[in-house]
C-alpha cells in the first residue's frame, strides 16, 4: 500500500508540474500582457513602463521559474484589479465554491446511484429505458441554459428560491441542481453497468443459492464491487464541478472562486487567472489521488 501511494504521489507531482507550465504558457501566449494591463487608451510609453515594472521584459523562462518558486511557497502574486494577494482572494471565496461543489455532488449521488441500481435490476424494461433517456437528456442539456430556465421559473415566476447570492442556504439549491444535472448521467450509467456485471457474477449466484434476501444481495454484495468505478467517477465529477463553477457562479452571481476567475478574465487580471487555473487543477489532482487510494482499499488487487 505504501508503494502504491508513493507511485500515485509521483504521478500527481508530474501532473502538477505540467499544469504549472501550461497555465503559465497559455496566459503569456494570449497576447501582450502589458498592453492588456495598460488598457486601450495607453500610450507606448505607458506600456513600456508597465512592462519594466512587472518584469515582463525578462525571458519567459526566468519569469516562469520565479512564479513557480513563489507558488510553491504559497505566494501566488498580487491581483492587478483588487491590489491584494491572490492567495487571500482565493481563500476568502473558496468556501462558496466548495459548498456549491459538494452540494451538487450530493444531489447527483442521491439521484444517480438509486436510478442506476434500479435500471440494472430492471434491465431491458421500460423503467430501464426511461432512466437511460433521462441520462441522455441530462448529458445533452447545457448547464447555463438550465440555470437560466430555473432562474426564470423558480426565481422570477414562482419566487420559490433566490436567483443570486448565498445569503441563505437556499441560494445553493438552484446552482447545486444545475451542477448535479451534468454529473447524474455519468454516475447513473456507470452504476448501471457495474451493477449489471456484478449481478451476473458467480458469487451472486452463490449468495442466491444460500437464500440471502434480494436487498442484501444488491446492497451488500453487488453494490460494493460496482462502487469502485463509481468512486473514481465521483471524484472526477467533483473536480469538474469545481472547475465548471466558473460558468454556474457567473450565471447565479455567486461570490466564489469561479466568479473571481470570470471577473479576472474580463478585466485581464492574469495573476488571478493563472492562480485559479493552478488551484483548481491541484484540487482535481488531489481528488483523483484520493479516489485511487479509496479504490485500493476496496480492491486489494490494485495494490499489487
Is pLDDT above 60 for 303? Answer: no
pLDDT in tens, 41-64: 667 776 777 777 777 777 778 878
Query: What confidence tier does 38 reach under pLDDT thresholds 50, 70, 90?
Result: low
Q: In terms of CATH, what superfamily is 91-303?
A: MetI-like (1.10.3720.10)
Quote the mean pLDDT of the chain. 79
Q: What local confidence, expressed as pLDDT, does residue 30 receive?
A: 63
pLDDT in tens, 178-214: 888 888 888 888 888 888 877 777 777 777 777 777 7
Percent of the chain that is helix, strand, coil (3-state, to 5): 80, 0, 20
For the chain, the structural domain boundaries read: 2-72, 91-303
Mean pLDDT across the stretch 136-145?
78
Instruction: Classify residue 179 by burial, with Cβ atoms within 10 Å: 0-12, 13-18, 19+.
Output: buried
Q: What local confidence, expressed as pLDDT, does residue 31 receive?
A: 62
What are the beta bridge partners of residue 78?
85
Q: Which of 32-41, 100-109, 268-277, 280-289 has the lowest mean pLDDT?
A: 32-41
Q: What local confidence, expressed as pLDDT, does residue 66 receive?
A: 79
Amino acid at each position: 500500500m505504501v508503494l502504491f501511494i508513493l507511485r500515485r504521489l509521483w504521478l500527481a507531482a508530474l501532473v502538477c508540474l505540467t499544469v504549472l507550465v501550461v497555465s503559465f504558457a497559455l496566459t503569456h501566449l494570449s497576447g501582450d500582457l502589458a498592453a492588456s494591463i495598460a488598457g486601450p487608451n495607453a500610450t507606448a510609453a505607458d506600456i513600456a513602463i508597465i512592462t519594466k515594472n512587472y518584469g515582463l521584459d525578462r525571458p519567459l523562462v526566468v519569469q516562469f521559474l520565479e512564479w513557480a518558486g513563489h507558488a510553491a511557497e504559497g505566494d501566488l502574486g498580487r491581483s492587478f484589479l483588487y491590489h491584494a494577494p491572490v492567495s487571500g482572494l482565493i481563500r476568502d471565496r473558496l468556501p462558496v465554491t466548495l459548498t456549491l461543489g459538494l452540494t451538487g455532488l450530493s444531489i447527483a449521488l442521491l439521484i444517480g446511484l438509486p436510478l442506476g441500481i434500479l435500471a440494472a435490476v430492471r434491465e431491458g424494461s421500460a423503467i430501464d429505458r426511461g432512466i437511460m433517456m433521462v441520462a441522455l437528456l441530462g448529458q445533452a442539456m447545457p448547464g447555463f441554459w438550465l440555470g437560466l430556465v430555473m432562474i426564470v421559473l423558480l426565481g422570477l415566476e414562482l419566487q420559490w428560491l433566490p436567483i443570486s447570492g448565498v445569503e441563505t442556504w437556499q441560494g445553493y439549491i438552484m446552482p447545486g441542481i444545475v451542477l448535479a444535472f451534468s454529473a447524474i448521467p455519468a454516475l447513473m450509467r456507470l452504476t448501471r453497468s457495474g451493477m449489471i456485471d456484478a449481478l451476473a457474477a458467480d458469487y451472486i449466484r452463490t449468495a442466491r443459492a444460500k437464500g440471502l434476501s434480494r436487498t442484501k444481495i444488491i446492497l451488500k454484495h453487488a453494490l460494493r464491487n460496482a462502487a469502485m468505478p463509481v468512486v473514481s467517477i465521483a471524484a472526477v465529477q467533483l473536480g469538474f464541478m469545481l472547475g465548471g463553477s466558473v460558468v454556474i457562479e457567473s450565471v447565479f452571481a455567486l461570490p466564489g472562486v469561479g466568479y473571481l476567475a470570470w471577473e479576472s478574465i474580463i478585466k485581464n487580471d492574469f495573476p488571478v487567472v493563472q492562480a485559479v487555473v493552478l488551484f483548481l487543477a491541484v484540487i482535481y489532482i488531489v481528488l483523483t489521488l484520493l479516489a485511487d487510494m479509496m479504490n485500493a482499499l476496496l480492491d486489494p488487487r490494485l495494490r499489487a
